[in-house]
Amino acid sequence: TPAEFTCNHVSLLAQYAMIIDRTKKLPARFYVSPAGRKPVREWILELSEVDRHTVGKDIQKVEFDWPVGRPHCAPLGHGLWEVRSDLDGNRIARVIFCMGDGYMILLHGFIKKTQKTPQTDIDLALKRKREVT
């Protein structure tokens, strides 16, 4: 009947709109070292399957929903941002990134052991940022 067609038609349009809205606003790219390594990718692959899923999901949240604030993402200064992941066992993971040509460039990933992000981790991310920007 026409009423059913209209109802289904609206439903299909709503579904289509949801698909369109799921485009990445800030796609992720891995930093590539001068030697061709991708240290953040390597670090993620070393994590357990559960931790990989959590970190990946949090990176995707930033990709699709940018701009994103706390608790998922926070600025570190100097053009650096962090993707914040809470892992099992009260552990905290961070992926530091910068912006470049419409992408988030994943510079450094680590398990956080102190309240404050260690300066050595920030310095490493800044060094890598200088290489790509």
> CA distances (Å), 92 to each of 48, 84, 89, in order?
14, 7, 9
> Strand 103-112 vs strand 80-87: parallel, antiparallel, or unpaired?
unpaired
Q: What is the pTM of this model?
A: 0.83
Please tell me the predicted confidence (pLDDT) of residue 7. Answer: 45
Every domain of the chain and the residues it spans: 24-132
Of the two residues 24 and 44, the one the predictor is more confident about is 44
Fold observed for domain 24-132:
YaeB-like fold (3.30.2310)
For the chain, what is the mean pLDDT?
89
pLDDT tens per residue, range 25-44: 999 999 999 999 999 999 99
Please tell me the predicted confidence (pLDDT) of residue 13. Answer: 55
